[in-house]
A and B are shown apart, each in its own frame.
Chain A
Amino acid sequence: MSFRRLTSGGRLDRDKSVKFRFNGKRLKGLSGDTLASALLANDRLLVGRSFKYHRPRGIVGAGVEEPNALFTIGKDGTEQVNVIGTCLELTENLRAKSQNAWPALSFDLRAVNQLFAPIFGAGFYYKTFMGPRLKSWMFYEPHIRHAAGLGKTGTQGTAARHNTRNAFSDVLIIGSGPAGLAAALALAGTGVSVTLAEQDFELGGSILSSQNENLLAWREATLATLNRAENLRLLTRATVQGLFDGNQAIIAIGGTMVESLRARTIIFATGAVERPLVFDDNDLPGVMLASALRTYANRFALLPSKRCIIATNNDSAYETAFDLVTLGATVMIADERNGIAGELLAKSASLGVVVFAGSSIAAVAGKRRIEAVMLGGPHHVRLSCDLLGMSGGWSPLVHLTSQVGSKPQFNPSVQAFVPGPLATGHYVAGACNGSFGTLAAINTGQAQASAVLAALGKKAINKTDVPPLEADRGLAILPSVSPSKSRFAFVDFQNDVTAKDIAQARDEGYTNIEHLKRYTTLGMGTDQGKTSNINALAMLANLRDVPISQVGTTTFRPPFTPLTVGAIVGRSLGQHFRPTRRSPLHDWHEQNGATMIDAGLWKRAWYYNWAGKTPHEAYLKEMELVRHNVGLSDVSTLGKIDVQGKDAAEFLNRVYVNGFAKLAVGRARYGVMLNDDGLVLDDGTTSRISETKFYMTTTTAQAGEVMSWLEYLLQCHWPDLDVHVTSLTDEWGGMALSGPNARQVLERAFPEEDLSDSALPYMAVKDIEYEKVPIRILRLSFSGELGYEIHCPANFTQGLWEHVLKMGASAGLKPYGLEALASLRIEKGHVAGLELDHRNSLDDLGLGKMASSKKSFVGDTLRMREDMMAPERWSLVGLELLEPGKKLRGGAILFAAKDEIKGHGRGYITSVTWSTDLQIYVALGLYQGGLAHENEEIIAAFPLKNEKVRLRIVSPHFIDREGTRLNA
């Protein structure tokens, strides 16, 4: 046993035993334990294997700094990985598993990696597996990934229900140590709203690790006041994971809640974490942070059983030694310094603590746990022990201040990085600012609270009680000189980075800290270098012979501690991941045999079961219906924009490449618009309802983008134009009636209206009223057949749809879905979203002739750029399959017949369909040089399926090139 549990003391409820499992073994802890303290109470020192060398690893810390004690929690496919055991409150029936150990924790086959350590140094993976041939990485990667094993997430997802919420506060205090509590106390009852966020399940921070009665009493009294104050919100188990623009704090609360808090001001009272010392085999289980030993003793009643050695380079470790001795442990101190303060030596002597001055740790002995240490320096002794506490100084937790852009600055007096200049409204108190010591924390906490009140325009009303404490000690820290040649002197425990790796990286020229980080992986991983960073920086500074301030720090990134994807996602799961848009005909489709498909945010009718059971069977029948009789399709998803105003015609004339100024009332025109860069933005049909009123349609995909673009031009650049645009996409629904018999059906549906070819010719529009519902009939054709679009307010769309279907029943009218709609337009050679990929010019799409030369329009200048005029651009072509029985696929890569099938080819297939008219597969595609290659035989390759077929380049208009059908 390395630790024994004391029969009294600590913040434990000894009447409440808590059962849990560790790697399948049933164990017991107490209420108030963390998983880590419960494991130590059960003498489980070894909790995992290291990432690279699979060395046995034990618990090092007692809080957020912990690099080793990461566990997989849960069972039956709902496992959650990388949970920090030192922060996890022990709960009944908790199941924890070690990570990185295969096949078992005590017997790890991959521990042989240690024997190969000379070749596993910095950059080993890059050098060995990556080059010179990329293939080798492809081969090795799965094996390396398996060996690395960062824990395996459960395949069933989480059983927990995650929530997100928003909150607002005048003040956010991060951390509830003496600084945070003092700040909260000063703000209690002042009327400003305050949120105090503490990641632990108890408030108090470092006070919880103390045995000072005065301090503990102050905490009790303070909490009593805080609990009474109505302006305070005290959050425990609440970790501020990230800070973002506008003082937005993302706070993970209790594992299943994420709060987005907007705070006017923030007081950073995040404290500091102790640093390890770097010596050979400093990762042996039983080697821990001195402050952790103090926490385990005072808070969790776990005392070193036999002898404990404390190795230090500063004064703070003496506090640990004195507390442990007071509780009954045997303690010796190895202090790297020679000039140790007299009163510390005196107190040590009086308590029976032997101090070895000028002594560092030369070596440690023990196989799976520490058994002895050998001292370096003047005292060449071997001291047996069961625990070694190390203190290399303290690192302020500057992660959050750094996240909001305050670059950490080196403070040599404490040998640590502290927050640099802060943004307005940000205040830092206590150890986070390098003000070590409880009194300093309380005083700066109070002072910063007063500053916050002043900034918020309030008067300070509280004079905070300060507990009677001894004056703070400075750290009197001696910068440690770490060994640079040691193979197993670990700097970063989590990433298995050793002193030698850092020296090697530097020798190979990685002298910039950011390069060093990426080359050695130092400071990466879930702990983001909380314990390792400063030691590595000091080492690099030493090797480069520059001050540490010149080396700088790497960037700290959110999350502060591991955060589950579930917590981030909240309820935005499955269909709630993004909004769902439904056409006004949605219910009808579902009730009448449609199979639905997602198209962007929309749910659309894909095909109907009257036509077949599979999409392939159904769309061909639906196509035939439209080509030979008449079909009805839901086009409510099209963008619909109402354009009104005295200058509406002038406006449209500017945004479309073709002329709209002279469009007659009652007529529609197909238009194409460009971006400023001369590339095609969208196409659609716009009709003139009156002199000052137009009705624009856009593609479904670009509806939002076009609307925003028109608003931008009008509001930002052309405010002189008297035009208003309003989106009608959701307010109006629409349907396309298409096929040779479309007019016959339409006339039956609206018998009062003259809908003859002369009254409503191709590209004409007519507003009518039917049973008092305003209806707009546009004679357009997307399919290439005689066609009408019938639009009306969304509330009446289903009634109108049912009416038209009823009137067409005797003619054989049936609905057709998106698949047939898209296939019909491919046969006709109409471009759509798949071709309009925001990289094409007008000419690329065969639309160059539309551009007016008589007026100016958006994009007219830059579309004439040299590259845009190049003859070898990828341009729209039609494609016919020459090998019956084979298949064409969208996305297939196009090659000339003589080309080697390699690389990106000369283009690709955008859309494919079986042509019911031609009885072959036809496709649209973009091909280098376009129709200049008409009638050439080319090749379409689909490497994923190892397919290669012969095609012919043809006109993209596969049917009815003269347009006799749509003019019928």
Chain B
Amino acid sequence: MSEFRYGGDATKKRPGPGAGGLKVWHEYVFTFDNPKGPHEEFWQHTLGCRQWFKLKRNTATNEILGGGA
């Protein structure tokens, strides 16, 4: 149990409903970069206001670098 939950890479663009074929969705769901350093991610304030938001985080130091666009 923790206050926030991680929700994955926020730099990827989700294909629209009905758009994109097998390849596009495969890329979106299964292939990820594993950057060391600043990264933009989805997080949810699960045990709080339930808001999903974008967060910039340094994956090497866990430093919070601010909100995402």
Contacts and interface: CB of A to CB of B under 8 A. Distances in A.
B25 A716 contact: no
Given A676-B29, A716-B52, A862 B22 contact: yes
B68 to A, nearest CB: 10
Interface residues of B, number: 27
B61 to A, nearest CB: 6
Given A246-B62, A717-B14, A708 B5 contact: yes
Nearest to A725: B50
A225 to B, nearest CB: 35
Interface in A671-686: 676-677
Interface string B32-53: 0000000000101010001110
A856 B20 CA distance: 11
Contacts, number: 50
Contacts of A423: 61, 63
Of the candidates B21, B22, B52, the one having the most CB atoms from chain A within 10 angstroms of its own CB is B52
B28 A676 contact: yes
Contacts of B29: 676-677, 862
A871 B48 CA distance: 45
Contacts of B42: 712, 716
A569 interface: no
B61 A708 contact: no
B52 A711 contact: yes
A454 interface: no
A865 B17 contact: no
A422 to B, nearest CB: 11
Contacts of A245: 62
A857 B16 CA distance: 10
B1 interface: yes
Interface string A403-447: 001000000000000000001100000000000000000000000
A654 B14 CA distance: 14
A861 B7 contact: no
A861 B14 CA distance: 13
Contacts of B30: 677
A135 interface: no
Given A246-B62, A861-B22, A715 B28 contact: no
A861 B24 CA distance: 9
A252 B30 CA distance: 42
Contact of B52 (A712, A855, A857): A712
A597 interface: no
Given A708-B46, A711-B50, A578 B20 contact: no
Contact of A579 (B1, B10, B28): B1
A712 B46 CA distance: 11
Nearest to B20: A861
Interface in A632-658: 654
Given A246-B62, A578-B1, A676-B28, A712 B22 contact: no
Contacts of B51: 715
A824 to B, nearest CB: 33
Interface in A572-588: 578-579
A460 interface: no
Contact of B25 (A246, A424, A676, A855): A676
A861 B62 contact: no
Contact of A864 (B22, B24, B28, B52): B22
A862 B18 contact: no
Given A579-B1, A676-B29, A715 B52 contact: yes
A943 B1 CA distance: 36
Nearest to B53: A715
Contact of B22 (A424, A715, A865): A865
Interface in A842-872: 855-857, 861-862, 864-865
B1 A861 contact: no
B56 to A, nearest CB: 15
Of the candidates B5, B10, B25, B42, the one having the most CB atoms from chain A within 10 angstroms of its own CB is B25
Nearest to A709: B7
A579 B2 CA distance: 12
Interface string A707-727: 010011001110000000000
Contacts of B69: none
B61 A405 contact: yes
Smallest CB-CB A-B distances: 7 pairs: A856-B18, A245-B62, A715-B52, A861-B25, A856-B17, A717-B14, A676-B29
17 contacts: A245-B62, A676-B29, A708-B46, A711-B44, A711-B50, A711-B52, A712-B7, A712-B44, A715-B51, A716-B14, A716-B42, A855-B18, A862-B22, A862-B26, A864-B22, A865-B22, A865-B26
Interface of B: 1, 5, 7, 10, 14, 17-18, 20-22, 24-26, 28-30, 42, 44, 46, 50-52, 60-64
Interface of A: 245-246, 405, 423-424, 578-579, 654, 676-677, 708, 711-712, 715-717, 855-857, 861-862, 864-865
